[in-house]
Amino acid sequence: MIKSALFSVISFLIVFQIYSQNPISLKDSLEIMKVMKIQEIAWNNGDIDTFMEGYLKSEELVFSGKSGPVYGWDNTKKRYHISYPNTQVMGELKFTVKKIRAVSLNSAFLIGEYYLKRTTQDSYGHFTLLWKKVNNNWLIISDHTSAVK
């Protein structure tokens, strides 16, 4: 019984390690980058509603920032509208993607940086996104963003 459980745990860890080290396919990588570009354009147009289309419309979604986690698509959208009430506060967004890796055939993680150029004070920081492929569309299911400034 213990040997069987230990074998299962070791097998899981080996499979997880293999998948987590595999680069994501070019097709999936490009699809994720397309979503990121659409979000960047939407943000720069002051369009939070279109920006939110890159997130999974579900209570599964979690956004973690300096104020702690926010759960659900509606609550995340509400948070963006409150935190960024106008285009002056939103500024001009630029994403820089550092790494994309497959976790499984239908999930991936992305590590990147953002830069907000604003008339008042610029902001920049880092983010980690967990992506899920749903109906052949890549959507963010977890966003952890940390501002440096």
Residue 1: per-residue pLDDT: 52
When pLDDT is averaged across residues 74-92 and rounded to a whole number, the result is 96
Instruction: Indicate the fold that domain 23-147 takes in CATH.
Output: Nuclear Transport Factor 2; Chain: A, (3.10.450)
pLDDT tens-digit series, residues 28-72: 999 999 999 999 999 999 999 999 999 999 999 999 999 899 999
Long-range pairs for 21-28 at CB < 8 Å and ≥24 separation? 21/101, 22/101, 22/102, 23/100, 23/101, 23/102, 24/100, 24/101, 24/102, 24/108, 25/102, 28/102, 28/108, 28/133, 28/138
Looking at the predicted structure, is the pLDDT value of residue 10 above 70? no
Q: Residue 22's pLDDT band (boundaries 50, 70, 90)? A: low
What's the pTM? 0.83
